[in-house]
């Protein structure tokens, strides 16, 4: 991951969102030490429909090592409900982007009890 707008980061963020969001209508929840807030806006008319989800993730924003991340997810549809465009972008609003990337990498690590399960075991000779 090179930055918060790197496609790899956005894919990992999306997977984390799917895994942790308690319900489609949830507006607030917590992932480890990060507060997650989501707002959804939508617009529909005779020519198109638009949905915009705005996510704000904050980790100890007032303290050392704290950060605030904003992620926007847009979906556009035509009159037949065919997808026109979907896009995502992210910005660090406060703190250090390297701290955000490190936190995301921590989410990818297996728990300590499972770290050695996938490794081949040494054979006795």
- pLDDT beyond 50 at 125: no
Give the tens place of pLDDT for each residue, 29-87.
999 999 999 999 999 999 999 999 999 999 987 677 899 999 999 999 998 889 999 99
Report which of 56, 48, 49, 63 is spatially closest to residue 13, judged by C-alpha positions: 56
Count of domains in the chain?
1
| Domain-embedded: residue 82 | yes
CB 69 within 8 A of CB 93: yes
Residue 74's Cβ-count burial label (10 Å; 0-12, 13-18, 19+) is middle
pTM for this entry: 0.81
Report which DSSP code applies to 121. P
Host domain of residue 79: 7-108
Q: Is residue 120 part of a domain?
A: no
SS3 content of the chain, % helix, strand, coil (to 5): 25, 40, 40
- Would residue 56 count as lying in a domain? yes
Asked if residue 121 is part of any domain, the answer here is no
Give domain status of residue 117, yes or no: no
pLDDT of residue 60: 86
């Amino acid at each position: 991951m090179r930055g918060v707008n790197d496609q790899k980061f956005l894919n990992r963020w999306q997977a984390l969102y799917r895994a942790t969001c308690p319900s489609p209508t949830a507006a607030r929840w917590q992932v480890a030490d990060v507060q997650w807030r989501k707002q959804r806006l939508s617009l529909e008319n005779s020519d198109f429909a638009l949905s915009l989800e705005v996510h704000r993730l904050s980790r100890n924003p007032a303290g050392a090592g704290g950060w605030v991340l904003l992620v926007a997810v847009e979906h556009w549809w035509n009159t037949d409900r065919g997808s026109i465009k979907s896009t995502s972008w992210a910005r660090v609003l406060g703190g250090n982007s390297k701290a955000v990337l490190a936190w995301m990498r921590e989410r990818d690590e297996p728990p300590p009890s499972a770290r050695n399960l996938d490794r081949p075991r040494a054979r006795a000779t």
